[in-house]
Amino acid sequence: MGYVDEVLEDVKKKNANEPEFLQAVTEVLDSIRPVVDRNEELYRKNALLERLVEPDRIITFRVPWTDDNGKVHIQRGYRVQFNDAIGPYKGGLRFHPSVYVGILKFLGFEQVFKNSLTGLPIGGGKGGSDFDPHGKSDAEVMRFCQSFMSELYKYIGENTDVPAGDIGVGGREVGYLYGQYKRLTGRYDSILTGKGLTFGGSLIRTEATGYGLLYCAEEILKMNGKSLEGKTCVVSGSGNVAIYAIEKAEQLGAKVVTCCDSTGWIYDPDGIDVAVLKDVKEVKRARLTAYKEARPNAEYHEGRGVWTVPCDYAFPCATQNELGLEDAKTLVKNGCQGVFEGANMPTTLEATQYIQKSGLLFTPGKASNAGGVATSALEMSQNAERLSWTAAEVDAKLKDIMVNIAHNMSDAAEKYGFAGNYVVGANIAGFEKVAEAMIAQGVY
């Protein structure tokens, strides 16, 4: 049995109850086979793959919080510090009832390669809690965040581990978390990114993941003689990534006709009105039924359905495994020509393979959503020099990074004989840097 298969078998045995983690590891290890084959002796000697799939450490803690009626609730808090070979651990915090250690291990593992692809010195980590912010008052969210940080602050630091937002953690939560860190330590450290603009945040960080996704997609389309101009696009999600993906797609001349949340979806034949969507989701924190009320021409449907709408390009921006094989078949049947992932691992392995086999362009989230964490790293740089760059400066750097990622994954795929397979390209390009850094730093 080859080295990759041996390690995969062992990972499956040791993590049998963590399907998302197994899915992420299987995709990465499968696609770096050409590199492993060329370096098998060196990698085996260093137990490189065995070390790569085992997080440096996992911290779990109890998070008690009191609701507005005085009742005490207990949540689980986590930080997975996965790999710091190329820089301090960096990656978001997710607050969602589905969070358990397997989800955070999959996200932390993906983050290692994503952060490497940005070209910036950041390692990979992820954290969060099974706390559900839906329907909670601001005061409840604040008390939860304060309690969460009262444990987390012991394990983070601007040169060790720098969390940020993810699902359920946006500007409001980062603000409460940062306030509590300062209260506990008395220090104005750059220990979180995605901070508010009045206390060390970076311009464009809010927009960065969605904008970056479109910069990457635009470059990949250009490399393939296509463009977004006049094209119909479908987007899933209606959170941070989806909103700014829609905004940038529309700025680049595309028409985006869908979005969704966890209860329903919108088809707006005139194109999603981003100002209305921002008001519904960022200001009112309401359901998408409120979008329909403001846009009578739009349709609101309960349940799932964005992938049934005919489109030229699709942008999954909600959550893992939201685009399965049947969805992929529908997209292909309806003439879709490209899928660009905004969320982390939104497409199942079977759906990804079907999409690629059908000749569509496909970019994996770890490459096309890397603009968020890249701009987080730019926030760390600004904090370190105690300066704030202009929106234009940050946006230009973000665009540069995304264009580079597009070319690096394309070049890596071509170099190993997989031209046009951006999954293979992204995994190889991300892996090579981490592997070299791990070997150079000895066994640990």
**In terms of Cα–Cα distance, which of 241, 230, 152 is closest to 194?**
241
Sketch the per residue contact string, 367 through 406, with ligand NDP: x for CB under 6 A, - otherwise.
--x--x----------------------------------
Contact 65, 133 (CB under 8 A): no
| SS3 state at 162 | strand
Contact 169, 92 (CB under 8 A): yes
Using CB under 6 A, which of the segments 53-61, 71-79, 286-294, 369-377 binds ligand 2IT? 369-377
Sketch the per residue contact string, 172 through 201, with ligand 2IT: x for CB under 6 A, - otherwise.
---------------------x--------
**In terms of Cα–Cα distance, which of 343, 424, 372, 381 is closest to 87?**
381
Of the candidate residues 156, 216, 259, 373, the single one contacting ligand 2IT (CB under 6 A): 373
Sketch the per residue contact string, 209 through 228, with ligand NDP: x for CB under 6 A, - otherwise.
x-------------------
* Nearest distance in Å: CB 192, ligand 2IT: 9
Contact 329, 248 (CB under 8 A): no
**In terms of Cα–Cα distance, which of 321, 324, 322, 329 is closest to 350?**
324
State the number of CA atoms in the 13 A half-sphere of 71 facing the CB: 2
User: Can you tell me the distance from the alpha carbon of 361 to that of 417, in angstroms, rounded to the nearest whole number?
Assistant: 17
Integer distance in angstroms from the first to the last C-alpha of the chain? 26
* Total site size for ligand 2IT, rule CB under 6 A: 12
Q: Which is nearer to ligand 2IT, 164 or 272 (CB)?
A: 164
Residue closest to ligand 2IT, measured at CB: 92
Q: Which strands, in side-by-side order, build the sheet including 338-340?
A: 255-256, 232-235, 313-315, 338-340, 361-363
Sketch the per residue contact string, 308 through 337, with ligand NDP: x for CB under 6 A, - otherwise.
---------xxx------------------
* Nearest distance in Å: CB 45, ligand NDP: 35
User: Of all residues in the chain, what percent are helix, strand and coil, respectively (each to 5)?
Assistant: 50, 15, 35
User: Can you tell me the distance from the alpha carbon of 96 to that of 341, in angstroms, rounded to the nearest whole number?
Assistant: 20
User: Can you tell me the distance from the alpha carbon of 430 to that of 221, in angstroms, rounded to the nearest whole number?
Assistant: 21
Q: Which does 239 bind (CB under 5 to 8 A by kind): ligand 2IT, ligand NDP, none?
A: ligand NDP
Q: Torsion-angle region of residue 236: left (phi > 0), alpha (psi -120 to 50) or beta? A: beta
User: Can you tell me the distance from the alpha carbon of 92 to that of 298, in angstroms, rounded to the nearest whole number?
Assistant: 33
Of the candidate residues 35, 52, 266, 343, the single one contacting ligand NDP (CB under 6 A): 343
User: Is there binding between residue 262 and ligand NDP (CB under 6 A)?
Assistant: yes
Residues 110-129 that bind ligand 2IT (CB under 6 A): 111, 114
Give the ranges where 199-239 is alpha helix by DSSP (H).
205-223
Contact 365, 28 (CB under 8 A): no
Q: Which is nearer to ligand NDP, 266 or 343 (CB)?
A: 343
Residues 336-355 that bind ligand 2IT (CB under 6 A): 344
Q: Which does 136 bind (CB under 5 to 8 A by kind): ligand 2IT, ligand NDP, none?
A: none
DSSP string spanning 314-357? EE--S-TT-B-HHHHHHHHHTT--EEE--SSS-B-HHHHHHHHH
Of the candidate residues 55, 77, 88, 92, the single one contacting ligand 2IT (CB under 6 A): 92
126 is catalytic: yes
Q: Which is nearer to ligand 2IT, 273 or 379 (CB)?
A: 379
Contact 370, 432 (CB under 8 A): no
* Nearest distance in Å: CB 108, ligand 2IT: 10
Residues 263-292 that bind ligand NDP (CB under 6 A): 263
* Nearest distance in Å: CB 307, ligand 2IT: 22
Q: Which does 319 bind (CB under 5 to 8 A by kind): ligand 2IT, ligand NDP, none?
A: ligand NDP
User: Is there binding between residue 372 and ligand 2IT (CB under 6 A)?
Assistant: yes
- Among 126, 195, 231, 248, the active-site one is 126
* Total site size for ligand NDP, rule CB under 6 A: 23
User: Can you tell me the distance from the alpha carbon of 6 to that of 273, in angstroms, rounded to the nearest whole number?
Assistant: 51
Residue ranges binding ligand 2IT (CB under 6 A): 90-92, 111, 114, 164, 166, 193, 344, 372-373, 376
Task: Give me the active site residues, please.
Answer: 126
Residue ranges binding ligand NDP (CB under 6 A): 165-168, 170, 209, 237-242, 261-263, 317-319, 342-344, 369, 372
